[in-house]
Chain A
Amino acid sequence: MTHTVEITIPASLIGATAATEWLHRSAKQFCVPTDQCTRLDMCLDEAIANILMHSQPNGTPIELRLNIEGTANTGSACITLSSKGLPFNPIEVAITPVATSLQDAEPGGLGLLLIHSFSDELSYSYQNNKNQLSFCVRWADLNPAREPNGNPD
């Protein structure tokens, strides 16, 4: 089964809240496992934060598309964010090494680290004057049904 849901939000705090609610509502509707929804949630928050801080004037539309394939046992879910603006590929930005002391700690750089860590797949393209960032998570049943003798099939 494949499901696609879309929403357009403003690049703002209100938009970020709406995006989170949309993700959780959609994930529940299409049986995305809770832990996988959390991974998507993390990536989505970081991607929107990136747009708010670096590329879009407040209120500019951000188009979100969620594609879900499979079942609650095995499947994948991908979110694509599209927004107008100058080309900016966050995937190419070098990830700053994490600080090892508070004295050396500086703001910034942690969001990309989290997107890379919480997603299974990350891609970027620039089309029709729009930055398009996609991230996916995949899941598989790690405890498949067992035969009556207790041995996995």
Chain B
Amino acid sequence: MSITHTDLDHNLRHIKLGGRLDIPGTDAISVQFTALAATSPMRVVVDLREVSFISSIGIRAIIMNAKALQQRGGKMALLLGNEPAIVKALEITGVGALIPICKKLEDAANATS
């Protein structure tokens, strides 16, 4: 599991996750993920295009960080690739109703405005 970030401007952060967001993978990045999603930029794009697997633990981490961000007045959007199991898992759990899901970085950035 990997996590990196780039601040695209003073108020927009691009967090890239890679690998498996399963039990061990989510545990490995959860502290850093929360720290990156909770610090100063109020607009956060979480990039899942390099994530190969996601289970409820990973989905929960995303939702809880998005909720915390919203409570501080910020907004998160997800950038999603074409991995069928990930698309299905997010659909089943209704994530799209909670957090905007986009295919392009530009659209995801706009969705956090």
Mark A residues whose CB is within 8 Å of B: 13-14, 16-17, 20, 35, 38-39, 41-42, 45-46, 48-49, 52, 98-103, 105, 107-108, 110-111, 113-114, 117-118
Please report the total number of B residues contacting A with Cβ < 8 Å.
Answer: 26
Q: Scan B23-40; emit 1 where CB is below 8 A from any A CB, else 0.
A: 110010000000000000
16 A-B pairs whose Cβ atoms sit less than 8 Å apart in the complex:
A13-B27, A42-B53, A45-B22, A45-B53, A49-B23, A98-B94, A98-B97, A99-B63, A102-B63, A102-B70, A105-B98, A110-B60, A110-B93, A111-B56, A113-B56, A114-B92
- Report how many A-B pairs have Cβ atoms within 8 Å: 80
Listed in ascending order, the chain B residues whose CB lies under 8 Å from chain A are: 20, 22-24, 27, 53, 55-57, 59-60, 63-64, 66-67, 70, 84-85, 88-89, 92-94, 97-99
A108 to B57 CA separation, bound complex (whole angstroms): 9
Cβ contact within 8 Å between A20 and B67: no
Given A107-B64, A110-B60, A111-B56, 8 more contacts at CB 8 Å? A39-B85, A45-B22, A100-B98, A103-B67, A113-B93, A117-B88, A118-B85, A118-B88
Residues of B within 8 A of A103 (CB): 67, 70
